[in-house]
Amino acid sequence: MRLLLLRVSIRGLLPLFVIIGAFIVIGAVLISSGVLPEERAREFRSLTDVSIASDMKVIKEPMLGDNTFVYAVNDVAQRSIDIAQGDARVRQILDEAKAKEATVTIAGVQPTVMVDRQSGELLYSSAGQVVITSNWQTIGGTAYSEPQSFATVADKGLESHQQIWHVLVDVDNGQVRQVNQQANRVTSDTINPDIIRTVVNVFAPNAIVVDAGSAVRWINPSNLPHNVVGIFNQTTAQDAVDSTGLIIDNSTNSTSNNNNTNDAQTSPSSSSGVTAIDSGFIQQGQSWQYSFNEAGVFNYLCTIHAEEGMRGTLIIAAPTSS
């Protein structure tokens, strides 16, 4: 009787054994083929299977009459800027900056776009971010909006003001989710002839006029590295103001020259009266000097802190005839 009951029980469990066996076989096949998500994740290599799409887009160049610089790290980040500029809060920020005659930088820094190297598919999140920076300076309590010569402003007190907003954007839904303002930054300094300081992610002064043949030195008293990168348009100053760019073409071959006076590398390259200049990193306590022998305009930025509006303009005036 007991033997009969055991046989009946085993027969009843046969379908279960078959199902379990089938799962084991199927699992073994899937594991050996490597199609399980866990197996694919184990083989995934972020540095080789996915790359970051880097396509910086300059949307608007600054001019003396409208000193606004707009750029995005890619096409999707540019959509973030378009969405942000349509928001009433952002428009108010820009209107107030214009009233102060501030230099404005609008940077689309998110989302980062990834490229699947196997399929070529673009991968990105819907979370966009736009950084808006408003910089303005005063000399002796008066707004410093028109570039002056070093001879005019030397030994005077300079105050640099900076306001930064982080605008969070839903790219997919086309809406601004949040606008966060950082605490205002204010720094004070004294202007010295032919000296530009890099303080709290601003150049002080951020716009200045020098005579052709002048050697201008950038010094870094801050605890962060900075650099001086931009385009020197070697035409008459008046003609160059509205035509000079900020961004060096990475495809340009650069060679070093002797304008460097410290350890920072400088790599200028020239074409049709336009010189691309790169100081290399200027560490804390270091300085870098460049001699401007031709009239023109040098628009430049610190590439490390470009999204915080760290940029400047140097106008090199032609020598007056006797």
More confident residue, 115 or 148: 148
Whether residue 7 has pLDDT greater than 60: no
Strand order in the sheet with 214-219: 202-204, 195-199, 214-219, 287-292
275 within 8 A of 269, measured Cβ to Cβ: yes
304: left (phi over 0), alpha (psi -120 to 50) or beta: alpha
State the number of CA atoms in the 13 A half-sphere of 240 facing the CB: 26
Q: pLDDT grade, residue 306 (50/70/90)?
A: confident
Average pLDDT (61-82) is: 88
Cα distance between residue 248 and residue 213, in whole Å:
23
Burial readout 205-219 (b: 16 or more C-beta within 10 A, e: otherwise)? bbbbbbebebebbbb
- With pLDDT > 70 as the criterion, what percentage of the chain qualifies? 70
Average pLDDT (284-292) is: 95
For residue 70, which of 56, 84, 58 has the smallest C-alpha distance? 58
Q: What does the pLDDT look like over 178-194, one tens digit per residue?
A: 999 998 999 999 999 99
Mean pLDDT of all residues belonging to the chain: 79
pLDDT at 317: 87
| Other beta carbons within 10 Å of 33 | 9
pLDDT at 200: 79
Cα distance between residue 274 and residue 235, in whole Å:
8
Whether residue 322 has pLDDT greater than 50: no
pLDDT at 141: 85
pLDDT at 247: 58
Q: pLDDT grade, residue 140 (50/70/90)?
A: confident
Whether residue 29 has pLDDT greater than 70: no
275 within 8 A of 297, measured Cβ to Cβ: no
Cα distance between residue 232 and residue 318, in whole Å:
14
82 within 8 A of 177, measured Cβ to Cβ: no
Q: Which domains does the chain have, with CATH numbers?
A: 2-44 (no CATH), 49-317 (2.60.40.420)
